[in-house]
Amino acid sequence: MVEGAGTLPEIDARSFWGAIGCRAVGAAIVTTIGSDGPSGFLGLSATHLTASPPTMTVSIDRRTSACADILASGVFAINYLARSGLPVFERFAARDGLKGAARFEGLALRTLATGAPVLPGIVGVLDCRLDEAIERHGVVIAIGRIAAFESVGDAEPLIHYQGRVMA
């Protein structure tokens, strides 16, 4: 801990979610290879770390089943959804919906360099090899080097803002 940081005030979890709700982010699904098939989760905390080497970070709740799959496989893909990907977003956002590999049933999956699933209905995908995993407060920060990417130039992004998607 940084000296003196312990004396600063902190906010609670509910306030935290309200505070970060002010940022608009591209709706992203992080996918990987699981022992039972494709695996993934809604990854709204996927962002770049550095351009040299090209590196991304993803924060994953340790209890998320895909977390163990990423650690075991050593690969993940960040699928940034297009507006046309709203049905895919809804599959992953539904708390009482499909779970595990069942979320991927009927989707036209493909892969790039690492073998991590690439979803349909995207504006782009960043295909990463796990470089390092750091655990803090029940969250794994997966740091991945971009092995391949794809961008769909004419697709419009699906944006997540204040707990809602802007389609």
User: In this structure, which amino acid lies at residue 110?
Assistant: R
Task: Give the domain ranges of the chain.
Answer: 27-166
Length of the chain: 167
Contacts of 96 (CB under 8 A, 6+ apart): none
pLDDT digits (tens, 9 = 90+) for 72-127: 999 999 999 999 999 999 999 987 778 889 999 999 999 999 999 999 999 999 99
Q: What is the pLDDT of residue 2?
A: 61
Query: In DSSP terms, which residues pair with 60 in a beta bridge?
Result: 140
Q: Which CATH fold topology does 27-166 show? A: Pnp Oxidase; Chain A (2.30.110)
How distant is the alpha carbon of residue 36 from its chain centre?
19
Write the pLDDT tens digit of every residue in 132-157. Answer: 999 999 999 999 999 999 999 899 99
Strands (DSSP E) found in the chain: 25-26, 28-34, 37-42, 46-51, 54-61, 75-81, 110-111, 117-118, 122-136, 139-151, 159-161, 164-166
